[in-house]
């Protein structure tokens, strides 16, 4: 692994680049495939609202939205589900709701990763209160082995195991988010 530098609290910290789990090229190809599938499914639905879940989905949402061939608008929502930074408690808290009106509109929730399912279940229920015409879900990564609740996932980029991952929007303690690939880390290091 090649060393890289991260700035934290004004100090540079040398770290190793995470091992590649999913390459930049693989991500690009899969995002193109997802965009084609979503575009076909929503071809006759009018303007679709893509709801990106901050912060992790922002890179995936940007790349996906640029490749869609359908009319779309973008909204963001923010939730908190890791109160101590790295352990999922199951409790989800709304930090920022969508700002635009999604009533009677087709909504596609765009997530970076679905592991336990608690966050996505919460988001679906919360967004239903806005009375959209439909809600579907799209995630870049899915950890089926970590599921604690059942949630519908309509579009999945990649299924992965129980590894800790960073890159392409995903982070660990705000680090690794801007890597162009999905890498595996050991958070205990």
Task: Enumerate the active-site residues.
Answer: 115
CA 13 to CA 4: how far, in whole Å?
Answer: 8
Are 80 and 93 in contact by the 8 Å Cβ rule? The answer is yes
CA 120 to CA 148: how far, in whole Å?
Answer: 11
Secondary structure, 3-state, 6-47:
EEECCEEEEEECCEEEECHHHHHHHHHHHHHHHHHHCCCCCC
Beta pairing, strands 72-80 & 48-54: parallel
| H helix and E strand count, the chain | 3, 11
Neighbour tally for 22: CB within 10 Å: 20
Residue with tokens 């309509």: 154
């Amino acid at each position: 692994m090649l060393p890289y530098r991260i700035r934290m609290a004004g100090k540079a910290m040398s770290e190793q680049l995470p091992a590649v789990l999913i390459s930049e090229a693989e991500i690009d190809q899969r995002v193109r495939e997802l965009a084609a599938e979503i575009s076909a499914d929503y071809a006759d639905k009018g303007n679709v609202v893509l709801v990106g879940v901050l912060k992790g989905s922002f890179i995936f949402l940007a790349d996906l939205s640029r490749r869609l061939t359908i009319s779309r608008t973008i909204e963001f929502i923010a939730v908190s589900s890791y109160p101590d930074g790295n352990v999922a408690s199951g409790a989800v808290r709304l930090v920022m709701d969508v700002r635009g009106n999604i009533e009677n509109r087709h909504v596609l929730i765009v997530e970076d990763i679905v592991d336990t399912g608690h966050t996505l279940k919460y988001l679906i229920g919360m967004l239903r209160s806005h009375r959209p015409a439909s809600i579907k879900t799209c995630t870049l990564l899915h950890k089926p082995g970590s599921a604690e609740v059942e949630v519908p996932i309509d579009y999945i980029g990649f299924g992965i195991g129980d590894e800790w991952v960073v890159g392409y929007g995903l982070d660990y303690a705000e680090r690794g988010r801007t890597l162009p690939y999905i890498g595996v880390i050991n958070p205990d290091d």
